Copies of this chain bind each other. A is one copy, B any other.
Amino acid sequence: MTFSAIKRFLIGDPFPTSMDIHERLDKVRALAVFASDPISSNAYATEAIMSVLIILGSQSLALTWPLGLAVASLVLMVVFSYIQTILHYPDGGGAYTVAKDNLGEFPSLLAAAALLTDYILTVSVSVSAGVRAVTSAFPETYDYRVQMAIFAIIFITWMNLRGVRESGTIFAIPTYAFVGGVLLVILLGVGRYFQLFGLSAIPVMEHSVPSSTSLTGLAYIWLLLRAFSGGCTALTGIEAISNGVQAFKPPESKNAVKTMVAMGIMAMSLFIGITFLATHIHLVPEETESILSQMTKAITGRNFLYFWVQSFTAAILFLAANTAYQDFPRLSSFLSKDGFMPRWMQNRGDRLVYSWGIAVLALIASIIVIVFQADEIAMLPLYALGVMLSFSISQAGMFRLMGRIAHLKPGQSIRTLVTNIHYERGARWKQALNAVGSIVTFIVFIILMSTKFLEGAWIVIAIIPVLVYMFYSIRKHYESVAAALSTKELQPASLLDVADIVIVPIGDVHRGSLRALMYAKRLSKDVRAVCVMTSPNAKEHVLRRWKRFPKLTRRIKLIPIEYDYRDVITPVVQYIENIINSDEFSNQLITVVIPAFVPKQEFGRLLHNQSAAQLQWALRQYKNLVIINVPIHIDSKM
């Protein structure tokens, strides 16, 4: 079974490029793919607010509701901003493209670095959180958590390599099952809370926790801000669709906007519903049980619906990773097209997905999972930082764009760097919303960073500039390659002459080396067979055999090099280097013919010294050296 047969078996038959359009996502699948990250945040966002407020005692938990409403309005603002982004940048690219078009290169790379970091963390955090859900249910699996997390990454990677459509289909079920289950619980909860339709009231919990500290003034406000920032984890993943507009069936941006609206409504309903109920039935965050689990249990009891919600919560936590599998490779391809990432990251694989981006994401996320031993609590301080920074930059960009649009007259349209903009109504209002959004998300970024700096946020703050530096370095490299390959001022004469000399390193006189010498004789009259002799015996042996083929070896100079070390590569390289540096052949292409035997079986290669391969590797550094491989294949039986 060959490599390509295995690949075909795992990934499926290759798709032709023209099938691209069939591989696009319809709205139902797209919602499942792009919404699994933002929707999964509902599993913990409310709890993130409450676990800060509890410091002030359980009576302060009532503040969760107004803070939750504040978070919800921020979510609305950001959703609105990204709808604008999709409409104005229908080719996708989200924060990166918006920043590039409106703020310049550096901010765009900053946003890209922040987002890429966060996408990697999304994968690591979400599979680890999913694994925690499993190990909580089955504590005996705890020792295998890293293996389980890696297995989950491998599975999600595999599905994504099989194509966008296929992974969208498979991963849609758990997403909708989670949303449906939680919505049902919320409806039931609201019904019971207001005692509608004759439903019985929910027994209100009354275990009060005293305040562990009493804060006033600035400290109190700071604590509220921290609680608010915790709730802002509900925002993560909202930007996903804006990067992936081109994954939608046409009309792309129209479908993307509709999906964005549906996602916003879904995520909002869940967040507001959970926050409302958690506050009003007086839940208290506990270490051993999540708020969502407490709430479900209080409303439905431990019955079928409870287990449905619990198991699909685990599933959706795993699946938040899937959204990153859409966005990381796509954002990388945008950077790659602009020369900031390796060029092969814009190549699409057999199934029309950015296979390299997927592989890089899976690899780095796996390393992080191993380093952190699949402990998502330890990773959380690193998470959500990057996405907040990108929100802020992106909305700052939209602020600039709306400012430019506001200057247009009705019917007027102009071309920006990458898109066309037209007059539109209410640009000033939109601009104001963007300003507020940008400032608030930046404040959240600062709060997240300062409260979690020592717990790990510093790593992200350190990595983002490193990535930006890397982007610039890569582009610099491509620019110099382009300059070197440029044909702008090319004169045919500057392509270098071919020197009338051919060097053939040989180890012995056999069918393989004779074939190489014969080939070399066709290229030049000055053929030199270079042979390193490490002992007098070896020398005698080669000379004796050389004389047996006078017809073939006529007009070929045999150059014996006596050498008192065992490494035969060095003297050959030395000989060739001397030729290259000689005045006679300066600035000419020198040709080296290397005879090599190729065993039919891969395994057979292990049995040979591989001198040919070593020599070729050693010669790689020399400019103006043309290397010719004359192979002789050997059908050996093992």
Q: A564-603: which have CB < 8 Å to B?
A: 564-567, 589, 597-599
| B598 and A620 contacting across the interface, CB-CB below 8 Å | yes
Q: Does A344 contact B (CB under 8 A)?
A: yes
Binding site of A, secondary structure by majority: helix, strand, loop or mixed?
mixed
Q: A475-489: which have CB < 8 Å to B?
A: 476-478, 480-481, 484-487
**Chain B minimum-CB-distance residue to A545:** B487
Contacts of A567 on B, CB cut-off 8 Å? 14, 350
Contacts of A476 on B, CB cut-off 8 Å? 636-638
Q: Does A343 contact B (CB under 8 A)?
A: yes
| A17 and B634 contacting across the interface, CB-CB below 8 Å | no
Q: How far is the CA of A484 from the CA of B514 in the complex (A)?
A: 13
| A628 and B628 contacting across the interface, CB-CB below 8 Å | yes
**Chain B minimum-CB-distance residue to A638:** B473
Q: Does A207 contact B (CB under 8 A)?
A: no
| A629 and B632 contacting across the interface, CB-CB below 8 Å | no
Residue from the list B349, B478, B623 in contact with A566, Cβ < 8 A: B349
| A511 and B535 contacting across the interface, CB-CB below 8 Å | no
**Chain B minimum-CB-distance residue to A478:** B607
User: What mask results when residues 537 to 561 of chain A are scored 1 for a CB within 8 Å of chain B, else 0?
Assistant: 0000000010011011000000000
Q: Does A495 contact B (CB under 8 A)?
A: yes
Contacts of A348 on B, CB cut-off 8 Å? 566
User: What mask results when residues 604 to 638 of chain A are scored 1 for a CB within 8 Å of chain B, else 0?
Assistant: 10111110000000001001011111111111111
| B487 and A514 contacting across the interface, CB-CB below 8 Å | yes
Contacts of A636 on B, CB cut-off 8 Å? 476-477, 480-481, 484
| A634 and B484 contacting across the interface, CB-CB below 8 Å | yes
Q: How far is the CA of A629 from the CA of B630 in the complex (A)?
A: 12
Residue from the list B477, B496, B549, B637 in contact with A638, Cβ < 8 A: B477
Q: How far is the CA of A420 from the CA of B15 in the complex (A)?
A: 72
Contacts of A512 on B, CB cut-off 8 Å? 485
Contacts of A15 on B, CB cut-off 8 Å? 565
**Chain B minimum-CB-distance residue to A606:** B342
| A477 and B627 contacting across the interface, CB-CB below 8 Å | no
Q: How far is the CA of A608 from the CA of B495 in the complex (A)?
A: 23
| A498 and B484 contacting across the interface, CB-CB below 8 Å | no
Interface size on A, residues (CB 8 A): 75
Which of A312-320, A400-408, A518-526 faces chain B?
A: A518-526
Q: From residue A572, how far is it (CB to closest CB) to chain B in Å? A: 15
| B16 and A564 contacting across the interface, CB-CB below 8 Å | yes
Q: Does A492 contact B (CB under 8 A)?
A: yes
Residue from the list B342, B522, B607 in contact with A474, Cβ < 8 A: B607
Given contacts A492-B549, A565-B17, is CB(A487)–CB(B515) below 8 Å? no
| A510 and B492 contacting across the interface, CB-CB below 8 Å | no
Q: From residue A6, how far is it (CB to closest CB) to chain B in Å? A: 16
Contacts of A518 on B, CB cut-off 8 Å? 492, 495
Given contacts A480-B637, A626-B630, is CB(A609)–CB(B344) below 8 Å? yes
Contacts of A223 on B, CB cut-off 8 Å? none
Q: Does A534 contact B (CB under 8 A)?
A: yes
Q: Does A18 contact B (CB under 8 A)?
A: yes
Residue from the list B344, B485, B514, B523 in contact with A490, Cβ < 8 A: B514
| A484 and B635 contacting across the interface, CB-CB below 8 Å | yes
Q: How far is the CA of A487 from the CA of B509 in the complex (A)?
A: 8
With most chain B CB atoms within 10 A of its CB, the pick from A498, A548, A607 is: A607
| A629 and B626 contacting across the interface, CB-CB below 8 Å | yes
| A484 and B496 contacting across the interface, CB-CB below 8 Å | no
| A511 and B492 contacting across the interface, CB-CB below 8 Å | no
Q: Does A347 contact B (CB under 8 A)?
A: yes
Q: How far is the CA of A572 from the CA of B608 in the complex (A)?
A: 30
Given contacts A347-B566, A477-B604, A634-B484, is CB(A498)–CB(B514) below 8 Å? no
Q: A494-534: which have CB < 8 Å to B?
A: 495-496, 498, 509-512, 514-515, 518-519, 522-523, 534
**Chain B minimum-CB-distance residue to A342:** B607
Q: From residue A230, how far is it (CB to closest CB) to chain B in Å? A: 38
| B474 and A564 contacting across the interface, CB-CB below 8 Å | no
Q: How far is the CA of A623 from the CA of B596 in the complex (A)?
A: 12
Q: From residue A527, how far is it (CB to closest CB) to chain B in Å? A: 14
| B549 and A522 contacting across the interface, CB-CB below 8 Å | no
Contacts of A514 on B, CB cut-off 8 Å? 487, 490, 495
**Chain B minimum-CB-distance residue to A479:** B636
Contacts of A565 on B, CB cut-off 8 Å? 14-17, 350
Residue from the list B487, B495, B609 in contact with A347, Cβ < 8 A: B609
Other 8 A-B pairs with CB < 8 A, given A14-B565, A487-B511: A17-B564, A343-B609, A485-B597, A487-B548, A490-B511, A492-B551, A589-B630, A626-B630
What are 16 A-to-B residue pairs whose CB atoms are below 8 Å? A17-B565, A343-B607, A347-B609, A480-B634, A480-B636, A481-B636, A484-B636, A485-B632, A486-B510, A486-B511, A487-B514, A492-B518, A495-B511, A598-B620, A623-B633, A626-B628
Interface residues of A (CB under 8 A from B): 14-18, 342-344, 347-350, 473-474, 476-478, 480-481, 484-487, 490, 492, 495-496, 498, 509-512, 514-515, 518-519, 522-523, 534-535, 545, 548-549, 551-552, 564-567, 589, 597-599, 604, 606-610, 620, 623, 625-638
Q: 4 shortest A-B CB distances, which residue pairs?
A: A480-B636, A485-B510, A16-B564, A623-B633
